[in-house]
Amino acid sequence: MATVTPPADPEADPRVKAVFDDIRATRQSDFINNVWRYLAFDPGLLEEVWRDVKAVLATPSALDPKVKEMIYAAVSIANACDYCTHSHLASARAKGMTAAEQADLLRVVATAGKTNHILNAIRPPVDDAFLMDRG
Amino acid sequence: MATVTPPADPEADPRVKAVFDDIRATRQSDFINNVWRYLAFDPGLLEEVWRDVKAVLATPSALDPKVKEMIYAAVSIANACDYCTHSHLASARAKGMTAAEQADLLRVVATAGKTNHILNAIRPPVDDAFLMDRG
Amino acid sequence: MATVTPPADPEADPRVKAVFDDIRATRQSDFINNVWRYLAFDPGLLEEVWRDVKAVLATPSALDPKVKEMIYAAVSIANACDYCTHSHLASARAKGMTAAEQADLLRVVATAGKTNHILNAIRPPVDDAFLMDRG
Amino acid sequence: MATVTPPADPEADPRVKAVFDDIRATRQSDFINNVWRYLAFDPGLLEEVWRDVKAVLATPSALDPKVKEMIYAAVSIANACDYCTHSHLASARAKGMTAAEQADLLRVVATAGKTNHILNAIRPPVDDAFLMDRG
Amino acid sequence: MATVTPPADPEADPRVKAVFDDIRATRQSDFINNVWRYLAFDPGLLEEVWRDVKAVLATPSALDPKVKEMIYAAVSIANACDYCTHSHLASARAKGMTAAEQADLLRVVATAGKTNHILNAIRPPVDDAFLMDRG
Amino acid sequence: MATVTPPADPEADPRVKAVFDDIRATRQSDFINNVWRYLAFDPGLLEEVWRDVKAVLATPSALDPKVKEMIYAAVSIANACDYCTHSHLASARAKGMTAAEQADLLRVVATAGKTNHILNAIRPPVDDAFLMDRG
C-alpha cells in the first residue's frame, strides 16, 4: 500500500534505533506505529519528522496537549490525510478526548467545511476590523 | 471583489432583519461583518448559514468556545479560505486566545501541514490499533 | 498581482491572434478576459488551454452548457481558485443561471463541503453496492 | 477502517430509528448505507447531517435532483472524499445520470482541475466585469 | 473499488486498442496500468487523457523527464490523489530518481506543506518585487 | 491584509536580528521579504520556519536548487497559497528557471491537476507493481 519500502529490521540502523528509543521514552509505550517504521527508509527524514512532531505535540506549550491533537486532527481531516486522521484522533483519545468532545470536534470541522466552501464561492471582502496590519 | 451583489439596504427584508437582530443579540455587538451582509442576497441561505454557525459556535457544548474557534480557524487555513481565516482568528482572539496560543496554533497547523504531505506521499497502512470498527 | 508578465501587445503574435480571434468568434463577443491575456505569455500554453476549455464548454455534449459551467464553478470553489470561481459563475449567469439556481448551487456546494469533511473524518468503508468493479 | 465505532444495533436508540425510518421513507428503499450506520455513534450528529442532506438533495428546489447530485459529486472529487465520491456518483446514476453524462461530468471536473491549477499559478487579476459588488 | 466499470476486453474497441498500442510503443513496455484499463470505459476520455499525459511527460521539452515526473508526483501528493502518487513516484523511479532524490523530494514537499499552511494563516501581502505585471 | 501584526522595528529583538542577518548572509542580498517580517511577530516561530526553509532550500542535497524551488512552487500552487506561489516562482527564476522552463512547469502542474481530479473520481485500484511494501 505504500510508496516506500520499510526496512525489515529498522533498529539495526543506530540512527533509527535512537529515534525509536526516544519515541518509546517520550510516550512511555513500546508501540511504534507505522509512520515511524516506514519513515525509517530514510534515517535523516525520520529524525527530522520526529523532532518536529515531538516539539509541537510532546513539549509543554501555551495550549493543552489534548487540544493540540484535536487541532492537528482537524487539519488532517481537511487535507484528506487518511493515516494522519486516524493517528491524531487516536492520540487525542489517548490524551483524554471524550466521545462528546470528538462529536463536537466533528461538528466544528463539518461546519467549517460548509462555510469555507460558501465563502470561497461568495468571496466577500475581508472586514477592515479583522486586519492586524492596517496602518 | 465578490461573486454576489449584497443588497444596499439588507434589513428592509424582514427575514434578513430577523437574522441580523439575532446576530447582534447573540454577540452583544452592533457589528455585522461582511459574510452576513453578502449572504443577505438570499435570505434562505443566510438563515441556514447563521443557524449552523450559531449552533456550533454560540451554543454551549463539550468544547470550550475559544477552542472551537481555533479548530474552526485551523480548518479554514487548511482550506485556503481567506475570509474564514481572518474572521475565525479574530473571533478566537475575541474569546480570549492569547498571542502565545495563536503562535502555538500556527505551530500545530504548520506541523500538521508538513506531516499530512509526508504521509500522503508515503501512504503507510493505518495501524490496526487505530481502527475503531475492526471486528 | 500575477506571476507572469502579460505581453503589452499580445495580438502582434500570430498564434495569439488566432486564439483571440477564435475566442471572439466562439463567444460572439469582443471581450477577451484576463486569463487569455496573461496566458499569452506562452502561445503554446494559451493554445492548449483554450483548446481544452473550448472542447469541454463550447462544444455540444451530453450535459447542458449551463450545467457544465455550474459544475466547473463548483470544482473551482472547492479548489479555492479565485479567478476561476469568478469567471465560471459569470459564465453560468451568461448561459442562463438564475439567482435561485445560483443560491441552490451554493447550497449544494456548502453541504458537500460539510459532509466531505465529516466523512474524511469518520472514514466509513465504502458500501459494496456503490462499487462498479466488484467481481 | 473507520475512526468511530458504529453501534451494533443502531435502531435500539429511538433517535437513530427515527432518522433511519425517515431515510427509508424518503428514498423508498430499505437500504441504509454506511455513512448513516457510522454516524449513528452520535445521534445528534446523525440527525443534523441527515437534516442537511435531505434539505438539499431530497427537497424540490431550483435545480434538477440529478444535477444537484452531479454538483455534489464534483465537489467531493475535488475534496478527495472517497466515500462521498462513490455515494454521490451512485445517487446521480440512480436519479438518471447516463454513462455519457458521467463521462461528460468527468471531462468538466478534469478540465476545471487543470485550469484551477494554471490560474492558481498565474494569478491574473479578476476582470472588473466579473465582480458583482463594484460601486 | 472504483466508480466506473472497466471493460472486460478493452482492446475489442479499436479506439482503445489504438491508445493501448501507443502506450506500449511510447513506453517500450507491455504493461498497461489500471488508469488506462478503467478509462477505457469511455474511449473519448481515454484518448484525451493519454494525449495530455503523453504531451507533457513523453515529449521532449525544457525540463528533464525525471524532473517532470517529480513535479507531477508533488502535485499529486498535495491533492491527496492515491493512484497518482503511486504511479508518478514509480515513473520517476523508472526514469532514474534515486532513493536520495526521493527522500529529498519528500523533504521539499513536506516543507512546502508546512509553510503553505503558515502563510495561508498569516496572509502577509505579496512583496511588490515578486509581481510580474506591475506597471 | 494579514492576521498578525508585524513588529514596527523587528530587528530590535536580537533573536529576530539573528535570523534576518542569517537570511541576508545565506542569500547574499539585503532584501528581507514579507514572510519574515510578519513571522517576526513570534521569534520562536520565525527561527523554526527559517531553520526548515534553509535546511531544505539553501543546503546542498540530492536535487538541484532550482528543481527544489520548482517542486516547492508546484506544491504551493496545488495548495492555493498565494504568497508561497509568488515567492517560490520568483526564487526559481532567481536560481535560473528560464521562461520555457516556467511554461513547462505550468504544463506539468496543470496536467497533474487534471489527472488528479479524474483519478480521484474514477478511483481505480493501485497496481501491485507500484507498491513498495508488498510481501
DSSP F1-19: --SS---SSGGGSHHHHHH
Decide: helix, strand or coil at residue A5.
coil
Residue range A66-87: average pLDDT? 98
What's the average model confidence in pLDDT over D101-128? 97
> Superfamily assignment of A1-59 in CATH?
AhpD-like (1.20.1290.10)
User: Number of residue pairs across C and D with CB atoms under 8 Å?
Assistant: 228
Contact call for A107 and D48, based on CB within 8 A:
yes
pLDDT score for B76? 98
User: Residue E45 and residue D107: Cβ atoms within 8 Å?
Assistant: yes
CATH classification (class only), B61-124: mainly alpha
Chains in contact with B, counting 3 or more C-beta pairs less than 8 Å apart as contact: A, C, D, E, F
Mark B107-118 as b/e (b = at least 16 C-beta within 10 Å).
bbbbbbbbbbbb
Q: Which of D80, D106, D125 has its CB closest to that of E79?
A: D80
Q: What is the pLDDT of residue C135?
A: 54
**Confidence (pLDDT) at D80:** 97
Contact between chains at A121 and C77 (C-beta distance less than 8 A): yes
Give the nearest chain E residue to B123 (CA atoms).
E82
What architecture does CATH give domain D9-59?
Up-down Bundle (1.20)
pLDDT value of position D108:
98
What's the confidence (pLDDT) of residue E73? 98
Q: What pLDDT, on the 0 to 100 scale, is given for residue D134? A: 74
In this structure, are residues D121 and C81 in contact, taking their beta carbons and an 8 Å threshold? Answer: no
Touching subunits of D (3+ CB pairs, under 8 Å) are A, B, C, E, F
Nearest Cα neighbor of E62 from F77, C45, F85, C11 is C45
CB F77 within 8 A of CB E122: no
CB–CB contact E106 A45 (8 Å): yes
Contact F4 A132 (CB under 8 A): yes
User: Which residue in chain D is spatially nearest to E43 when comparing CA positions?
Assistant: D103
Mean pLDDT per block of 10 residues along chain B (135 residues) reads 94 98 96 97 96 94 97 98 97 96 97 97 95 79
Which amino acid is it at E94?
A
CATH code of domain A60-123: 1.20.1290.10
Task: With beta carbons under 8 A apart, name residues in chain A contacting C117.
Answer: 77-78, 109-110, 112-114
Confidence of residue A135 (pLDDT cuts 50, 70, 90): low
Q: What is the DSSP letter of D6?
A: P
Looking at CA atoms only, how far is residue D87 from chain F in angstroms?
Answer: 11
Average pLDDT, chain E: 96
Percent of chain D with pLDDT over 70: 99
The answer to whether the Cβ–Cβ distance between B114 and E118 falls below 8 Å is no
The per-residue pLDDT for C1 is 83
Q: Which of F107, F108, F114 to mutate to test the interface with C (most CBs of C within 10 A)?
A: F107
Same fold flag, A1-59 and A60-123: yes
Q: Are E133 and C2 within 8 A, CB to CB?
A: yes
Best mutation target, F101, F115, F117, to test chain D (most D CBs within 10 A): F117
Q: Which of C36, C33, F82, C1 is nearest to E133 (CA)?
A: C1
Q: Find the DSSP H helices in E28-98.
A: 34-39, 43-57, 65-78, 82-94
Inter-chain CB proximity A107 and D75 less than 8 Å:
no
Dihedrals phi, psi of D133, to nearest 5 degrees: -120, 25
* CB-based contact A46:A39 (threshold 8 Å): yes
Supply A85's cell numbers. Answer: 486522521
Q: Is pLDDT at A125 greater than 60 in this prediction?
A: yes
CB contact under 8 Å between E117 and B109, yes or no, is yes
Whether residue B87 and residue A130 make contact (CB cut-off 8 A), yes or no, is yes
Q: A42 to chain C nearest CA, in Å?
A: 29
CA closest to D113 among chain E residues:
E79
Distance CA A19, CA A31 (A): 13
| List of chain F residues whose C-beta atoms are within 8 Å of the C-beta of residue B107 | 45, 48
pLDDT < 70 stretches in chain C: 135
Whether residues F3 and A130 touch (CB distance < 8 A) is answered with yes
Query: Nearest by CB to F86, which of C3, C41, C45?
Result: C3
Question: What is residue F1's predicted lDDT score, i.e. its pLDDT?
Answer: 83
pLDDT at E30: 96
Pick among B114, B116, B122 to test the E interface (most E CBs inside 10 A)? B114
Going by pLDDT thresholds of 50, 70 and 90, the confidence category of residue E83 is very high
Average pLDDT, chain D: 96
CA-wise closest residue to C121 among B24, D15, D42: D42
Say if the Cβ atoms of E120 and B80 lie within 8 Å.
yes
Q: Does domain C8-59 have CATH number 1.20.1290.10?
A: yes
Test mutation, A3, A45, A51, A76, chain E, max E CBs within 10 A: A3
CB nearest to C81's CB, from F80, F99, F103:
F80
- CATH number 1.20.1290.10 is the correct assignment for the domain at D62-123: yes
pLDDT at D43 over 80: yes
F61: cell is 542535497
Give the minimum alpha-carbon distance from E14 to chain F in angstroms, rounded to a whole number.
22
Domains of chain A: which residue ranges? 1-59, 60-123
Q: Does D103 sit within 8 Å of E42, measured CB to CB?
A: yes
Stretch F113-120: mean pLDDT, rounded? 97
**Residue E79 identity:** N
Q: What is the mean pLDDT of residues A113-127?
A: 96
Interchain pair D42, A86: CB under 8 A: no
Phi, psi (degrees; rounded to nearest 5) at E55: -60, -40
Asked whether the whole model's pTM tops 0.90, one would answer yes
Q: Cβ–Cβ of F120/D85 closer than 8 Å?
A: yes
Contact partners of A by the rule of 3+ C-beta pairs under 8 A?
B, C, D, E, F
CATH of domain F7-59: 1.20.1290.10
